[in-house]
Structure 1
Amino acid sequence: MTYDILVTGGAGYLGSTLVPQLLRAGHRVTVLDNFMFKQSSLNHVCHEPNFQVVKGDIRLESVVAPLLKKADIVIPLAALVGAPMCNADPIGAKTINHDAILMMLKLLSREQRVLMPTTNSAYGTGDENNFCTEESPLRPISIYAKEKVAVEAVLMEHGNAVSFRLATVFGMSPRMRLDLLVNDFCYRAVHDRFVVLFEGAFKRNYVHVRDVARVFEHGIQHFERMKGQIYNVGLSEANVSKRELCEHIQRQVPDFVCMDAPVGKDPDQRNYIVSNAKLESTGFKTAVSLDVGIAELIKGYTMIRNTRYGNV
């Protein structure tokens, strides 16, 4: 079955991977994005007759309301993503990540479906064993995680919705992000050959950007079974520490050096092991391993170098 799908922030890191996949599945897709990074990440789908794009701000009801009326499914990706970006613009984080989503939910009918990315960074440092399921207490540390927790609570009241608590995403995308942990470490391995670790034993879960796109399609296909629920989305074999992540990278970049910082600590104190069993029980299986994702990042970084202010 095909649907009219509105994807806000569809030109971003996740959206530029998801939107082509939705189009290939036969859906009619409208993207709303403000293109704040001047990205051209959806150039390759402009030939698709089922693709429409609107440049606008999700905080404006006059922009969002007409698009919502035509949508069977809404996938709200538009956000200031990550703790550093939200700390740099806390007002923007609140109005985009929180207020705009609540406005959208008020405008939706109960029949319209929502599949929304939230974050497993909400677990903070986990319990005494650092092990987390969807039932674990939430201890968000960053502004980003706190806003996502608040929105998720309202989202679940909508009823006709699914929340995907995403692990730390990695992998190549048409709108690339270098700041995500695996992407960052691989970039340093390729171009700097070293990284300094703060609290290298801290663990978190990871998931490839293509698997995240796949989980949204899985949620569309199995919506009646999954609605009203929260699901962790990650690679079950990739609950690894920063030190272990470096070891994975060293297998492919042998001269990559990891050093533990003698002083200081990571401002992001996340440290947890996440269970993805609930999602896997619905029939979803991740397809891209951590090592395969690292290999593609190494290839990608032969084409990408962040030298805006460099001479070489």
Structure 2
Amino acid sequence: MRQSQNGGKRVLIVGGAGYLGSILSRKLLSNGFKVKVLDVLMYGREPIEEMLAHDAFELVEGDMRNISTLVKAIERVDQVVNLAAIVGDPACTLKPADTIETNFLANRALAEACKYNQINRFVYASTCSVYGMMEGDEKLTEESSLNPVSLYARSKVQAEEGILSLEDENFSPTILRMSTLYGYSPRMRFDLVVNTMTKNAVIDKKIFVHGGGKQWRPLLNVEDAAEAYMRVLQEPLKNVKGQTFNVGSEEQNYQILDIAKAVKESVPNAKLIVEGEEKDLRNYFVSFSKIEKTLEFKAVKQLKDSIFRIKKAIEDNRFSNINDPKYYNVEIG
């Protein structure tokens, strides 16, 4: 059973101004946590601007790869959530050295600093991409073999192993393997599959599916993702210490083509274009029974509702320049 009181616990969110972090920061503040954010603010401070005046919010602007910045960030915190990473295959391919430095080396250094300072609860954001290419048709559980097919996924596997190896009586890491996120956020992204398809459907009246679209992907709304992190922070430590959880919804394991069809239902005048041979080796159908049983976590946000919300935000001109680089973790053509 989850704790009902958060007791003013101070949580450091590394990457707290990002797509997921800006939502998680708000959610924790509204549930009685004190929130400290370490973020390089690569995409500006607008996503967290409204929180800066909150008495329980603190911002440390800087890069986690800088040791002095990292040490300052972990001062006077009880728990750490690490969301910071170079995210996704395209961005990692463009910056391989930065990927290893940020996704593996800096993550390991942060975990070691937390252990040294006896910050016991440490939550690390990994990815279901570590499963890579599914063999057979069985659902992938936390015990399934890892088969990463990209630098991004390999860096996450290395980080998981490094962090879990530090576990002892004073350091209790939890690994969350995230589904592909979608939905509206204060730090909006249009380089995630659902968001990208919706944007292209509304703006260009085209929905592209590359490689046939038969690949499986687990999806999760970003607001549900934030709820999962809060559940881990509220759970008695003995239930999450040293544990790995797939985070998502079994009902939201989708084939890429079916995602495109869901977008077309909301934007019927868009043309669905399926092209090319299978090039993306990633293909994984994931089980989420462990997090449902242990944390009583169940996704509540639905894909179609989220597509409609993004569509309406675009139509209402919520984004002054939808091609602004701040909406993308990788440069667009």
**TM-score greater than 0.5 by the shorter chain:** yes
Q: Aligned residue for 1:126?
A: 134
Q: Does 210-219 or 149-158 show the bigger shift?
A: 149-158
> Equivalents in 1 of 2:203, 2:240: separation in Å?
43
Q: Aligned residue for 2:154?
A: 146
Instruction: Note the 1:1-312 alignment, pairs <5 A.
Output: 1=6, 2-109=8-115, 110-129=118-137, 131-159=139-167, 160-199=172-211, 200-224=213-237, 225-261=239-275, 263-266=276-279, 268-282=280-294, 283-302=296-315, 303=317, 304=319, 305-307=321-323
What is the CA-CA distance between 1:256 and the residue it aligns to? 2.2
> Equivalents in 1 of 2:137, 2:274: separation in Å?
23
What is the CA-CA distance between 1:113 and the residue it aligns to? 0.8
Identity %: 32
What is the CA-CA distance between 1:307 and the residue it aligns to? 4.3
What TM-score, normalized by structure 1, do the two folds share? Answer: 0.94
SS in 2 for 1:292: helix
In angstroms, what is the RMSD of aligned CA positions? 1.6
SS in 2 for 1:132: coil
Residues 130 and 271, structure 1, Cα contact 8 Å, conserved in 2: no
Residues 264 and 272, structure 2, Cα contact 8 Å, conserved in 1: no
Q: Which amino acid aligns with 1:29?
A: V
> Equivalents in 2 of 1:140, 1:211: separation in Å?
25
Q: Which amino acid aligns with 1:127?
A: E
Q: Which amino acid aligns with 2:293?
A: S
Q: Does 131-140 or 35-44 show the bigger shift?
A: 35-44
What TM-score, normalized by structure 2, do the two folds share? Answer: 0.88
Gaps of 5+ in 1: none
What is the CA-CA distance between 1:183 and the residue it aligns to? 0.6
Aligned residue pairs total 307
What is the CA-CA distance between 1:290 and the residue it aligns to? 1.2
Assess, with a 3 A threshold, how the Cα gap between structure 1 residues 253 and 213 changes in structure 2: closer, same or farther: same
What is the CA-CA distance between 1:34 and the residue it aligns to? 0.9
> Equivalents in 1 of 2:72, 2:265: separation in Å?
51
What is the CA-CA distance between 1:189 and the residue it aligns to? 1.1
What is the CA-CA distance between 1:96 and the residue it aligns to? 1.0
Structure 1 segments (4+ residues) deviating >4 Å: none
SS in 1 for 2:250: coil
Gaps of 5+ in 2: 1-5, 326-333
Residues 45 and 51, structure 1, Cα contact 8 Å, conserved in 2: yes
Q: Does 35-44 or 147-156 show the bigger shift?
A: 35-44
> Equivalents in 1 of 2:235, 2:47: separation in Å?
28
Q: Does 27-36 or 65-74 show the bigger shift?
A: 65-74
SS in 1 for 2:257: helix
SS in 2 for 1:78: coil
> Equivalents in 1 of 2:248, 2:188: separation in Å?
20
Assess, with a 3 A threshold, how the Cα gap between structure 1 residues 130 and 253 changes in structure 2: closer, same or farther: farther
Q: Which amino acid aligns with 1:133?
A: T
> Equivalents in 1 of 2:158, 2:263: separation in Å?
36
Residues 152 and 163, structure 1, Cα contact 8 Å, conserved in 2: yes
SS in 1 for 2:148: coil
SS in 1 for 2:157: helix
Q: Does 86-95 or 191-200 show the bigger shift?
A: 191-200
